[in-house]
Every structure is written in structure tokens, then in C-alpha cells.
């Protein structure tokens, strides 16, 4: 069976950046993921590269930054009051943080670029923004997804926001 919508897929992979830095998996042990194709559980570009593969297939491909987490945006460097954080005295450059009481849901931590007297300078870009993603994958299993695996994903497909999702 080849990977297509409504297939349960289990694969192992290694993910590198242009620099060669390995960010998922190790040389000895790859990382592993499972998903049901067609329900936006993966980056769309990653899933598109997997479509048509089958059990035992190996593939290597690059997901361009624009199709992954976008370009690095210098305008996403923002200043924020230290009082927005639970322990302002512990804030350090390079630290990954999530401010409290955010109006916008935060899906990944921000990185502190600089600590000032009453505020911090944050890089709000996704940590992988501007990075091409180099994948080496090995497909372990492809099968038809069960109704129990698909049903919660169909419910989430119609959700406009995570807070509306009951699945």
C-alpha cells in the first residue's frame, strides 16, 4: 500500500539543517513518527514528499524554509516587559521562554536575545525559521487507518481554532 489520505503511517527519520547539524534522530538511532495522512498532522510539504511511498521505502529530500517555518523575519524581534514572565530575575540571553497572559496562543517558545533593566528583547521567529530542512526517511509501516484513528482527526479538521476543538 502506498501512502495516501486515510493511511496510518509509521516512519523513522533524521532531520538536518544546511549546516549539517542533526536536530532530530542521531546517527545511531533515527527519530520516529506516526501520523494519518491527509489531516495536517505534519508540515504539508513533509507530508507531500511522503505521499506515494510504501513500506520499506527510503527517501531523502529537502523541505525549503518557505514551505516549512517561513523566512526569518527581523521584525519579529520585539521588546517585552519582564513582568510578563513568572520569574523575571531568572531571565537570561539564549533562554527559551513563553510569556504569561498572552493574547495570542504561543505554539513555540521565544528566545531571549537581550535582558534589559525592565524588559527583554525577544526573537519571536520560529526556531527553524529561515532553515531548509533536510530529511532522510525510512517508511516502516503503511496501512489503512482505522475508524477510531480517523474520527478525532475529522472532528479537528472542521475546527477553526484549537480552543474550539473537542477531538
Phi/psi for 148 (5° steps) reads -65, -30
Q: Confirm whether 109 is domain-assigned.
A: yes
3-state secondary structure at position 119: strand
Q: Summarize the confidence of residues 122-149 as an average pLDDT.
A: 96
State whether 63 and 39 are in the same domain. Answer: yes
Query: Whole domain around residue 14: which residue ranges?
Result: 7-69+130-164
Q: What is the CATH number of the domain that holds 136?
A: 3.10.50.40
Say how far apart CA 138 and CA 33 lie, in whole Å. Answer: 11
State whether 12 and 62 are in the same domain. Answer: yes
Say how far apart CA 123 and CA 64 lie, in whole Å. Answer: 21
Question: Is the pLDDT confidence value at 1 over 90?
Answer: yes
State whether 83 and 105 are in the same domain. Answer: yes
Q: Confirm whether 108 is domain-assigned.
A: yes
CA distances, 139 to each of 26, 29, 53, 153 (Å): 17, 15, 7, 22
Say how far apart CA 12 and CA 140 lie, in whole Å. Answer: 7
pLDDT > 90 in the chain, percent: 79
Of 43-47, 84-88, 114-118, 133-137, the least confident: 84-88
Q: Confirm whether 1 is domain-assigned.
A: no
State whether 25 and 100 are in the same domain. Answer: no
Q: Confirm whether 159 is domain-assigned.
A: yes
Q: Confirm whether 92 is domain-assigned.
A: yes
Say how far apart CA 9 and CA 1 lie, in whole Å. Answer: 10
pLDDT at 86: 86
**What predicted TM-score, i.e. pTM, was given to this entire model?**
0.80
Report the number of distinct structural domains present in the chain: 2
User: What's the chain's average pLDDT?
Assistant: 90
State whether 48 and 84 are in the same domain. Answer: no
How big is the CA angle at 22 (ends 21 and 23), to the nearest 5 degrees?
A: 110
State whether 11 and 65 are in the same domain. Answer: yes
State whether 60 and 134 are in the same domain. Answer: yes
For residue 7, give the H/E element and its range: strand 7-16
Question: Which cell is 13 given?
Answer: 527519520
How remote is the C-alpha of 163 from its chain's centroid?
19
Q: Confirm whether 33 is domain-assigned.
A: yes
Q: Confirm whether 2 is domain-assigned.
A: no
Write out pLDDT tens, residues 44-96.
999 999 999 999 999 999 999 999 999 999 999 999 999 988 889 999 999 99
State whether 106 and 134 are in the same domain. Answer: no
Amino acid at each position: 500500500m502506498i501512502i495516501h489520505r486515510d493511511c496510518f503511517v509509521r516512519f523513522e527519520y533524521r532531520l538536518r539543517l544546511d549546516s549539517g547539524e542533526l536536530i532530530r534522530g542521531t546517527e545511531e538511532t533515527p527519530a520516529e513518527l506516526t501520523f494519518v495522512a491527509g489531516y495536517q498532522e505534519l508540515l504539508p510539504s513533509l507530508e507531500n514528499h511522503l505521499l506515494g511511498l510504501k513500506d520499506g521505502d527510503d527517501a531523502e529530500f529537502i523541505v525549503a524554509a518557505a514551505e516549512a517555518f517561513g523566512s526569518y523575519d527581523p521584525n519579529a524581534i520585539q521588546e517585552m516587559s519582564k513582568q510578563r514572565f513568572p520569574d523575571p530575575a531568572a531571565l537570561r540571553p539564549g533562554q527559551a521562554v513563553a510569556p504569561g497572559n498572552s493574547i495570542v496562543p504561543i505554539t513555540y517558545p521565544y528566545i531571549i536575545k537581550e535582558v534589559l533593566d525592565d524588559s527583554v528583547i525577544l526573537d519571536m521567529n520560529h526556531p527553524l525559521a529561515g532553515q531548509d530542512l533536510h530529511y532522510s526517511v525510512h517508511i516502516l509501516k503503511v496501512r489503512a487507518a482505522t475508524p477510531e484513528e480517523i474520527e478525532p482527526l475529522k472532528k479537528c479538521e472542521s475546527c477553526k481554532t484549537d480552543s474550539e476543538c473537542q477531538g
